[in-house]
Amino acid sequence: MRKDERELNGKKVLSAMEHIDPDLITEAEPGKVPASRIVKLSSNKSWLYAGICAACALVVGGITLGVALSNRPGTEPGSYLASQESESTKQGTESSEGLLALETGHEKTDPSESSPFESEPVTTEIPETEPPVSELEATTDPKISESKDDESRPVPYSPDWDIAAEEGLKYDKPGAGEINAIEPGASDALIHDTISGHDTEVEGEPYPIDIEPIVEPGSSGGETEAPEDPSDKFGILTAGRWNDNNNWGFFKNLVTTEAIHFPAYGLNPVFRSAVTVKDESGSSVKGIKVEAVYSDDDSLIWSAVTNKEGEAYLFLPESENRSWKIKAYDTEGNAVYAGTDVYDLPGKPEDGTPDSQSRTRKQPEELELTVETASRSYKKTQVMFILDTTGSMGDELTYLQADFGKIMERVEADGVSYSWNFYRDEGDDYVTRINGFDTDVNNLKKILNNESADGGGDTPEAVAQILTETMSNAEWDADSVKIAFLIFDAPPHEGTENQITAAVAKAAEQGIHLIPVVSSNSERETELFGRALAIMTDGEYVFLTDDSGVGDSHLEPIIGDYEVQKLGDIIVDIINEYAVIPE
């Protein structure tokens, strides 16, 4: 789905939510708004806003009704009043005057007097626990952040910054001109709304909002500092995630405009066919193998396994004179689909041959198959961690050693086993260090905690070797959901492209979802390499960000909007999303 279609669909459903059964809306009424959700003005600017509010009150007090009427687009209190005043009833006239008073009450009343609609400034208690560093979605205001941060590196946001500094600070209501914030269109939509008929008695209890005294902010002003005790370092690293397969139109645009380019260390994910497999009832078929094979000799081009949505991604090479077709197999390896349709490979020229038999179909970007077979029943999940342990990865190793136990605790899937694998480079104490899958947290922690970051030296590391060894690991189980996190900051060596391509193909063939986690000091080529790994194995690209303040600067990837989260949260989320979760 193109990005614009995605956005349109999302907005459509979000808009449709407005008109769902009103009883459902009131049933789902949420509780108190958390204190961290309500952002006040920065204490640094409180004097400024107080002055502005006072000035506004004076100015608004001096502005006449005519300004409010003349500046209000599309809504004509004057005309409404006129229509009211045209009525002969005394009640109508009084109401119009009342409305007039309502609309202009802000500027007519003395700011020091209370208005029926003016509430006291609400203060909230800031929780004593350190707020989540990465929860920026509802709390970041560029103005506030800028007022706080004098350093070049972004400082993690904290609601401590935004406490109203002085008692008695009153937020005067916006002036009449600012009532224009509601656009006329919105009002018209409301007028034409219809509501499902449900006679529900509403008790009308006031909806509570927490009102508690201010807790003075800490002297740090809310800046997050890395704690000294390693055991307290859980959740410090911040990261973002991005799925190019789910943003394919966006990705293709980047390629077309040459914002990004491939191949990256032998991997070229650009020519993709997304195959969706369904059964005759229309349900997705998960966990079966789908292959692209050359049409002339049936030799394999690419093999992938359908995911939870029944989708498999096939990646095609460029060829001027060869074509391909699709095959699919059930969980036992029996062929359940042998396509007769033949498709062009990318690069086939437009030859204009009139002979229909020699012409093939253009390369399809999306295909749908119907097969008579059942989905694979996954009962277990295998999670592999592959970690670069050269010297530059010291911070990441330290924090992973702190985080890992809690990650295991928070994974909700059943039957999860983990494997820790490490690599450095030729000439170091070791090149690769492979371990099997285990469920014992103590064993796993011991393996991880025995590692330290050392060695390396030149930029490239033994990525090709570790991928070859881990993707060919005999312990991968066909009936398991398979995830492999590759945590690294350096690209593979030049000249290892064939090895890498073979390893990635092996991963895709087995349904291993590669999740590259790119760390600090990485270059663009490393980012593109990571993204190619993710695309070609139906994984996801994860990247550390500067928000934690830990480590060196992190490269901002060329992607769309993303949310900054704790790395630990992202790892847990990804495992839970791919894995088998009990109801």
Partner 1 sequence: MDDMQLIDLYFARNEAALSETESRYGSYCMSVASRILPLRQDAEEVVNDVYLSLWKAIPPERPDNFKAFVARVTRNAALTKLQHEKRQKRGGGVIPEAIDELAEVLPSGTDPQAVLEEKELSDLISRYLREQTVTKRKLFIQRYFYLLSIEDLSAESGLTKSNVKVTLMRMRNDLQEYLEKEGYKI
Residues 229-288 that bind partner 1 (CB under 8 A): 282-283
Does residue number 576 form part of the binding site for partner 1 (CB under 8 A)?
A: yes
Residues 118-137: x/- map of binding to partner 1 (CB under 8 A)?
Answer: -x--x---------x--xxx
- Token digits of residue 561: 């909007």
Distance CA 466, CA 434 (A): 8
By CB under 8 A, is residue 461 in contact with partner 1? no
Q: Which stretch binds partner 1 (CB under 8 A): 36-44, 212-220, 222-230, 506-514?
A: 36-44
Instruction: Specify the residue, 135 or 388, whose C-beta has the smaller distance to partner 1.
Output: 135
Q: Is 111 helix (H, G, I), strand (E, B) or coil?
A: coil
Give whichever of 71 and 498 is closer to partner 1, judged by the CB atom: 71
Measure Cα distances from 171 to 112, 167, 210, 299 in Å: 11, 12, 18, 73
Q: Does 226 bind partner 1 (CB under 8 A)?
A: no
Which of residues 58, 102, 226, 338 is near partner 1 by CB under 8 A? 102
HSE-up (13 A, CA, CB side) for residue 262 = 24
- Going from the C-alpha of 349 to that of each of 257, 362, 365, 522, the distances in angstroms are 22, 10, 17, 38
Q: Quick check: 364 binds partner 1 (CB under 8 A)?
A: no
558 binds partner 1 (CB under 8 A): no
Residue whose C-alpha is closest to residue 508's, from 248, 368, 305, 294 = 305
Smallest distance, partner 1 to C-beta of residue 65, A: 15
Does 379 sit near partner 1 (CB under 8 A)? no
**Contact status, residue 537 vs residue 512, Cβ threshold 8 Å:** yes
Binding-site size for partner 1 (CB under 8 A) equals 105
Structure tokens at 296: 């002339």
* Subset of residues 80 to 99 that bind partner 1, contact rule: CB under 8 A: 80, 84, 91-92, 95, 98-99
- Contacting partner 1 within 188-207 (CB under 8 A): 189-191, 193, 195-202, 204-207
Residue 76 found at the interface with partner 1 (CB under 8 A):
no
Query: Binding partner 1 by CB under 8 A: which of 57, 103, 289, 484?
Result: 103
Q: Does 73 contact partner 1 by CB under 8 A?
A: no
Cα 555 to Cα 247, 312, 340, 519, 525, distances in angstroms = 20, 30, 46, 8, 11
First to last CA, the chain: 30
By three-state DSSP, how is residue 177 classified?
helix
446 binds partner 1 (CB under 8 A): no
Q: If we measure between CA atoms, which residue out of 370, 354, 382 comes closest to residue 474?
A: 382
Footprint of partner 1 on 294-323 (CB under 8 A): 308-309
Q: How far apart are CA 160 and CA 133, in angstroms?
A: 12
We find the least distance from the C-beta atom of residue 100 to partner 1, in angstroms, to be 11
Task: Give the three-class secondary structure for 409.
Answer: helix
Out of 5, 216, 296, 426, the residue judged to bind partner 1 by CB under 8 A: 5
Q: Does 544 bind partner 1 (CB under 8 A)?
A: no
* 54 near partner 1, rule: CB under 8 A: no
Candidates 13-21, 445-453, 462-470, 494-502; binding stretch for partner 1 (CB under 8 A): 13-21
| Type of residue numbered 276 | T
Interacting residues with partner 1 between 390 and 419 (CB under 8 A): 410-412
Site for partner 1 in 141-180 (CB under 8 A): 141-142, 171, 173-174, 178-179
Q: What angle do CA 71, 74, 76 make, to 5 degrees?
A: 70
Q: What is the 3-state secondary structure (H, E, C) of 315-338?
A: ECCCCCCCEEEEEEECCCCCEEEE
Gyration radius of the chain's alpha carbons: 30
Q: Which residues have CB under 8 Å from 58's CB, separation 6+? A: 111
What's the min distance (Å) between Cβ of 355 and partner 1? 32
Complex with partner 1: residue 84 or 295, whichever CB lies closer: 84
Shortest distance in whole angstroms from residue 8 CB to partner 1: 8
Q: Shortest gap between Cβ of 138 and partner 1 (angstroms)?
A: 5
**Given the complex with partner 1, which of 234 and 562 has the nearer CB atom?**
562
Shorter beta-carbon distance to partner 1: residue 96 or 401: 96
**Which of 36, 41, 96 is closest to 65 using CA atoms?**
96
Q: Would you count residue 209 as binding partner 1 (CB under 8 A)? A: yes
Q: Does 20 bind partner 1 (CB under 8 A)?
A: yes
Residue 47 touching partner 1 (CB under 8 A): no
